[in-house]
Amino acid sequence: MVATPWWRRPWLALLGSVAVVFVAFSLLPYLSLDPARSRVPVPASLRWYYPLLVVHIVCGAIAMLSGCVQIWPWFRQRFPRAHRRLGRLYVFGGVLPAGLIGLVIGALSPFGPVLRVSNVLLALLWLTFTVTGYRSARQQRMAEHRKWMIRSFALVMSVITNRIWGVVAGIALMPQLHTTFAGNEELLRQAIAGIAGWLGWTLPLLLTQGWLEHRAPTEHTRASPALPIAG
């Protein structure tokens, strides 16, 4: 089956453009290696925190950009060798280091316990989905491989939806600073971060799973005529 050209899948171009802009915006402050420019508060007592944060962000950017190419069906069919090589970069240069570091810095988030739990669970699922997808490819179970990697990529992109929910939660909760939060700005900040953190990855993952389940009968129907018939 010939893959649909990219111009017939405009969402791919939009997704790639959003990813490039987001990566450029996110990486810029960290290229100077100056902790003072970090967008995440750096604990003064943990000197190793900032270097790990930088590696996490760089590897996350690698995963995001390479993942945008990997989910492109035309690229996968036209350049299978490049797809495999880029896939190794996604796994070993992107997800594994970013996910393992995410377990550490996520558990130490300055934005409260609700976000810490979300960060750690997100990192664990991201690593699990990716390793399962990689093993499926090694075992030539390509249909399973694609599904697990799509789930993995959904979690990569959740860092963007996280920001969107942060804005929504901020607009909804800030008027309640002096009522619900009794003027406690730190508590308000933690509530916004917690809501954004959880919604940022759970909703994309649920939508992705729903899309995969909706697509499964269609893929089975298309594949059925190609199956060998015994007899």
What kind and span of H or E run contains 155? Answer: helix 142-173
Report domain extents, the chain: 6-158
DSSP letter at 91 equals I
Structure confidence at residue 167 (pLDDT): 97
pLDDT single digits (tens) 177-202: 999 999 999 999 999 999 999 999 99
Q: How many of the other CB atoms lie within 10 Å of CB of 10? A: 9
* Residue length of the chain: 231
Structure confidence at residue 72 (pLDDT): 86
Q: Say if CB 106 and CB 116 are below 8 A apart.
A: yes
Task: Give 208's pLDDT tier (boundaries 50, 70, 90).
Answer: very high
End-to-end CA distance of the chain: 26
Tell the residue number behind the tokens 């599904």, with chain if given: 147
Structure confidence at residue 44 (pLDDT): 84
pLDDT single digits (tens) 37-93: 999 889 888 999 999 999 999 999 999 999 999 988 888 888 999 999 999 999 999
Structure confidence at residue 111 (pLDDT): 94
pTM of the full structure: 0.87
Q: Say if CB 158 and CB 200 are below 8 A apart.
A: yes
Tell the residue number behind the tokens 């997100």, with chain if given: 122
Structure confidence at residue 138 (pLDDT): 94
Structure confidence at residue 3 (pLDDT): 54
Q: For the residues 16-30, what does the mean pLDDT come to?
A: 92
Residue 197: partners with Cβ closer than 8 Å, 6 or more residues away = 111, 114, 115, 118, 119, 122, 162
> What percent of the chain is predicted at pLDDT more than 70?
89
pLDDT tops 70 at residue 136 = yes
Structure confidence at residue 226 (pLDDT): 36
